[in-house]
Amino acid sequence: MKKNILYIFVFCFLQTGLALAQVPTPKHGLIHTSVQQAIQGQGTLLNLRNQALQEAPQGLDKLPQLKFLNLMKNKLTQWHPSIFTLSELEVLNIRQNKLTDIPEGIGKLTQLKRLNLAKNKIKALPTSIGQLKKLRLLHMMINHLEQLPESMGTMQNLQVLELDYNQLKSLPAALGKLQKLRLISVGYNHISALPAQLYQLTQLHKLNLEHNQIKELKKDIGQMKNLNALILSNNHLTQLPESITQLSKMELLVLSNNKIATMPAHLKKMKGLRTLILVGNPLSKDEKDRILNALPQCDVRF
């Protein structure tokens, strides 16, 4: 069952996430694998992936035209100041290194559209992250984040926010200002409640909250009219608000391993629902039968 749930979520993520996550596709021969190559060729794309680098190479400050920098799968423990001189950079990937922080200098990279810092040991985001007003995708999963700055509320072009496998106990109210958000994934954290402002994200398509400590959803969830995938497995829910049945675009609803004994009365209004996962909830046989009768079009799993 876990594999099935993961597959469904990944599929939903691909539908929205990959469409947004396009990175520059270089013409043949224009992607460089050393700084010296890039300097000589006045390159805009530099791939230094998996080179066992312990620090960023010298010479990055001689590449003011650089748009794409990949430092994934190295051994970086610190940021080299030259990275923050790359004023034209649009894509920065430092996934799977050993970074523990993000300097305030990140705010100088005002052209960034995609930032991937997943699989590091980063404990906090700097206030200056809010200066990345063109950023569309922020990947921060598998770090040590404990909180997020309110300054994120100024990142008005953010569309995909991935924060799974951190130490977050709450989300900032300022996220409710980010009306272009399409996907929020904060699974495997310690979040016990959602800020009221989050329900104002009426353009959000996918919300992943699996493996947290959420006890209830507010009735305001009915405002999230474009939500089509909601993952709430392994939380502490005992019921859902009736307003959730107003989400006519909902296709996937995952509620496994909660404490839900009854589902909303007007489930039949969710005519677009295709998959409902209720494994590991204390539902009676009568309640299961009612759910099946209300959702004949839906693949329901108990």
Give residue 18's pLDDT: 45
In a domain, 154, yes or no: yes
Residues in CB range of 146: below 8 A, 6 or more apart: 123, 124, 166, 167, 168, 169
In a domain, 285, yes or no: yes
User: pLDDT-based confidence at 292, cuts 50/70/90?
Assistant: very high
3-state SS class at 7: helix
Question: CA 94, CA 102: separation in Å to the nearest integer?
Answer: 11
> What's the pLDDT tens digit per position in 47-105?
999 999 999 999 999 999 999 999 999 999 999 999 999 999 999 999 999 999 999 99
Same domain, 90 and 8: no
Indicate the residue among 138, 158, 178 that finishes a domain. 158
Same domain, 173 and 151: no
Same domain, 288 and 169: yes
Owning domain of residue 110? 33-158
18 backbone dihedrals φ, ψ, rounded to 5°: -70, -30
Burial class (CB in 10 A: 0-12, 13-18, 19+), 136: buried
Give residue 4's pLDDT: 54
Question: CA 56, CA 110: separation in Å to the nearest integer?
Answer: 20
> What's the pLDDT tens digit per position in 4-58?
555 555 455 445 554 544 544 444 447 899 999 999 988 899 999 999 999 999 9
In a domain, 26, yes or no: no
Q: What total number of domains does the chain contain?
A: 2
Same domain, 214 and 185: yes
Same domain, 6 and 134: no
Same domain, 170 and 152: no
In a domain, 94, yes or no: yes
Question: CA 186, CA 237: separation in Å to the nearest integer?
Answer: 17
Averaged pLDDT, 287-296: 98
Rg (CA), the chain: 21
Same domain, 195 and 281: yes
pLDDT mean across residues, the chain: 92
Indicate the residue among 141, 158, 175 that finishes a domain. 158
Question: CA 207, CA 22: separation in Å to the nearest integer?
Answer: 21
User: What is the CATH number for 12?
Assistant: 3.80.10.10
In a domain, 122, yes or no: yes
Same domain, 77 and 192: no
pTM for this prediction: 0.91
Q: Within 13 Å, how many C-alpha atoms sit on residue 153's CB side? A: 13
Question: CA 190, CA 177: separation in Å to the nearest integer?
Answer: 23
Strands 229-231, 68-70: pairing is unpaired
For the cut 90, the answer to whether the pLDDT of residue 224 exceeds it is yes
CA 293-287-292 angle, 5° bins: 25
